Amino acid sequence: MLVAVTPAGPIHGRRVAVTGLGALSCAGVGVNELWGALLRATAPPSKRIGDFDASHLGGAKELRRFDPFTLYALMAADEAWRQSGLHGPLEDAGSIVTTGIGGLQTVLEQYRVLSDRGADRVSPFMVPMMMPNAATAAVSMRFGLGGPCETVTTACAAGTHAIGNGARLVASGRSTVVVVGGAEAVLVPIAEAGFRNMTALSNNEFSRPFDVNRNGFVMGEGAGILVLEEWEHAHARGATILAEVIGAASTADAHHITAPDPTGRGAIRCMELALADADVAPSEVSHINAHGTSTPLNDLAEAIAVRHVFGTNPPPVTSIKGHLGHSLAAAGALEGVASVKTLLEQVIPPTAGTVDVDPEIGLDVVTTKARALEVDVVLSNSFGFGGHNGSVVFRRYRA
């Protein structure tokens, strides 16, 4: 069960069930498309989200008032909510849907309007469309969630932080249900130029997490959503429980605005705190869904941290960024979805693009093909710019 670590020891809270999953990614619409793509050894050729039908979310006029990142979040949330079988309004239910950058496409579009047509022509919807909290607000309104409605903007760790923060709301008794996740839609020239000029992007547009030839990440976009629910509430209404969130943690490197602490100090503390929160020993972790961005410094720092925590026999590791690219705040949320699917299917996806694991990494990186394995506990990691670290621990549900 989820616990809060205090100087006096763990204080047990209410158990946290996962009862819904939703995804929108370059693999297509829905969790099934995502999972099918992750099981293949090769990645989708584009990391952009293709055309999709969102007419079930509203009319054309209404949909035009959403920045793409909000629309992505709504698409994934609708799938997760339908799977959960819940019905709103729910006064104590919350939503924590995150983004790293927010409505960047709206900002760029309205800046062009300002430049070409003047200030009077700027849309009155610009501000509510560009706000980082627009997605979580839209989710709360769509399903009638009257509890906490919050946004975490902790760069690439935000999706994982959303899961951890939402789980704490449920465990503490503040909310019975929380819809959590992240969404991002920043595949635009200015964002790509900014990342490229800081030498973060791959120079050949190829993601190779933990590979000896890795040279940067490939940008992606998408959304991942999970419905978290108090365990007894889910049981009482006959919900299908997909997995359990049993621990989470958040730390800071306090080191550099973009580079990780090369010793892995912050990541080590984050993983150790998450495992302590879950009351799980490192030897009980079956699999790690890694941050694995494909950058030389980040992958090495993460590997150093994992080896420190797990010793000479760490569990199998995979990075789904090899398939999906790096979707910033959506990444941790999509990785949370993939972690739950790994527990359900008892299969670890391969790390697409990775052929020769860097000897300095020293981890059992799953490559080439999916690996069938008995998986009981998954640790999912996210480590973002600014030194934001997030880890969340999922456990397999056994009836």
Q: What is the pLDDT of residue 12?
A: 57
Q: Is 281 helix (H, G, I), strand (E, B) or coil?
A: coil
Q: Write the CATH number of the domain with boundaries 16-396.
A: 3.40.47.10
Q: Which residue has the tokens 């022509």?
A: 121
Q: Which burial class, exposed, middle or buried, applies to 164 when counting CB atoms under 10 A from its CB (0-12, 13-18, 19+)?
A: buried
Q: What is the pLDDT of residue 7?
A: 35
CA–CA distance, 375 with 392 (Å, rounded to integer): 16
Among the options 161, 287, 323, 326, which is catalytic? Answer: 326
Query: Under a CB-based contact definition with an 8 Å cutoff, are residues 212 and 265 in contact?
Result: no
Q: Let me know how long the chain is.
A: 399
DSSP structural state of residue 376 = -
Q: State whether the Cα torsion 54-26-367-369 is positive or negative.
A: positive
Among the options 26, 149, 156, 270, which is catalytic? Answer: 156
The phi, psi pair for 349, rounded to 5°, reads -65, 155
CA–CA distance, 397 with 389 (Å, rounded to integer): 26
Q: What is the pLDDT of residue 379?
A: 98
Q: Which burial class, exposed, middle or buried, applies to 282 when counting CB atoms under 10 A from its CB (0-12, 13-18, 19+)?
A: middle
Q: What is the pLDDT of residue 262?
A: 93
Question: How would you write the pLDDT of the chain (399 residues) with one tens digit per residue?
Answer: 454 444 333 335 899 999 999 999 999 999 999 999 999 999 998 999 999 999 999 999 999 999 999 999 999 999 999 999 999 999 999 999 999 999 999 999 999 999 999 999 999 999 999 999 999 999 999 999 999 999 999 999 999 999 999 999 999 999 999 999 999 999 999 999 999 999 999 988 889 999 999 999 999 999 999 999 999 999 999 999 999 999 999 999 999 999 999 999 999 999 999 999 999 999 999 999 999 999 999 999 999 999 999 999 999 999 999 999 999 999 999 999 999 999 999 999 999 999 999 999 999 999 999 999 999 999 999 999 999 999 999 999 987
**Catalytic residue list contains 291:** yes
Among the options 161, 287, 291, 388, which is catalytic? Answer: 291
Q: Which of 245, 244, 252 shows the shortest CA–CA distance to 390?
A: 252
As separate numbers, helices (DSSP H) first and strands (DSSP E) second, the chain gives 13, 15
Q: What is the pLDDT of residue 298?
A: 95
Q: Distance from CA of residue 45 to its chain's centroid?
A: 21
| CA count, 13 A, side-chain hemisphere, 221 | 22
Give the contacts of 244 (CB within 8 A, at least 6 positions apart): 15, 16, 17, 18, 231, 394, 395, 396, 397
Q: What is the pLDDT of residue 399?
A: 76
Q: Helices marked H in 101-148 — which ranges?
A: 104-117, 126-130, 134-143
Taking residue 196's Cβ as centre, other Cβ atoms within 10 Å add up to 14
Distances (CA, A) of 92 to 76, 143, 164, 174, 178: 21, 12, 18, 7, 9
**Catalytic residue list contains 156:** yes
Q: What is the pLDDT of residue 13?
A: 87
CA–CA distance, 299 with 290 (Å, rounded to integer): 9
How many angstroms separate the first and last alpha carbons of the chain? 16
Q: Which of 390, 372, 391, 249 shows the shortest CA–CA distance to 316?
A: 372
